[in-house]
Structure 1
Amino acid sequence: MEELAREAGITVRTLRFYRERRLIPPPRREGRIAWYDDTHLARLRTISALLERGHTLNGIAELAEAFDQGRDVGDLLGLGAPTEETPVRLTPEALADHFGDQATPENLSAALDLGYLATDGGEIVHISRRLLDVSAALVREGIPLADVLATGRQVRTHAEALATLFTDLILNHPDHTPEDLERLRPLAKSVAEAELSMALDRRLRQQALADTPDRSPQPQDMGPGSSDT
């Protein structure tokens, strides 16, 4: 314990307090000897970094619980590692830097449930750099992370439907194989991107029309001598 406290730059008393609050996992014991490892040191450094960023001990405890209950990265990548997406390794404090006060236990749990995040010792793995960057950009625009994650869940439902449509289109023809599906996937992405672009154009035009004041002539604007007959 003394060695761990010294490496982490804290007092033994503080370390005992963190253990009592379950901010760090229990040590491995051999008889009366308690062994701590790099995972404990990484957690202590994370606690210090989050405290410096203004997080409370209660909030850190909830985050630690979410980390400990999260899906392991082996399980996440075992579902099928993305062939075109690049996973990103993050420390908990780096994740807090991306999302600030939006990095709450509730949002972390939602991201873990979606499969966006997994844990790997003292690190967090995000399944897609592109999704991480887009999520952080939306949060910087003032959109709550909870809303971003809820929308991400809906987008996934529609994306699964689009993937099924394209898969059926290719594989329902007897001359095509799963290898053809992989070869032709850029075509599916191009169609989805083009349709989304045009759909956004339509929504933007509709919104512009809705925001334009109604300039239809009113009776009082028809000039002298006007009448309703």
Structure 2
Amino acid sequence: MISAMSDVSGAGTHSDDATLTVDELSARVGMTVRTLRFYAGRGLIPPPIRRGRVGYYGPEHIARLDLVRELQAHGFTLQAIEGYLDRIPVDATPQDIALHRTLLTPWMRDLPETLDRTALVRRTGRELSDDDIEMLVALGVVEPTPDEDVFQVATAHLSLGVELLDLDLPVEAVQDAGRIFTEHGRALAEELTEVFRTKVWPHYRDSGGPPEHIQHLVERFKPVTIQGLVLAYERAVGETQRDTIRRTQNKPR
């Protein structure tokens, strides 16, 4: 869905909006002047508006720097950030750029939390064997790190993972199910992204609505999409069960 924003265009920053000196911009965004000049040299922000010998910065510069910081928080390298910003039109408005940040909001309720094994045991409220850890990894709730007995944990789903431990499922079955979810989940994400890029986003962009309305659309699009996926899956399971029963009944005895 992020790629949908590369179609955004706007009026850009008007020179009357550029009122901050580089020192004032530094204080506003919490970056050093040296960093700002480095980013400007790499083309991450446009040149300042010159009035005489003084350069001034405005909302577009702030919006782009906020986006740079958001991308850094998501683990993007400087080279990747440059490539990402290259796809944003130079005349994009600050509101357009802010929408990029909205699209970067994680879909998971909570970002993964780093826990060592002792903290993980304390969080689950039970002892965890090596087999239990293997099952949590297969479920996608826990992810190993290069440090032994340190894990990235999807804490929002940890209680569900612990409940599944008590079902005594074969770990191979869980791993196979995980591969299925990953494969089809990626395909769904790519197809839904294309629908959003070609059908949803152009409609709201061309409607002339305020940026806040479009941001609300993006934020609401996520849970609605997830709920639609759950509903479709429930229906598909029901249909599969009915088909299985019909095939069983039609088998010759």
TM-score bin, normalised by smaller chain: 0.3 to 0.5
User: Which structure is richer in relative contact order (CA contacts within 8 A, separation 6 or more)?
Assistant: 2
Q: Which protein shows a greater Rg?
A: 1
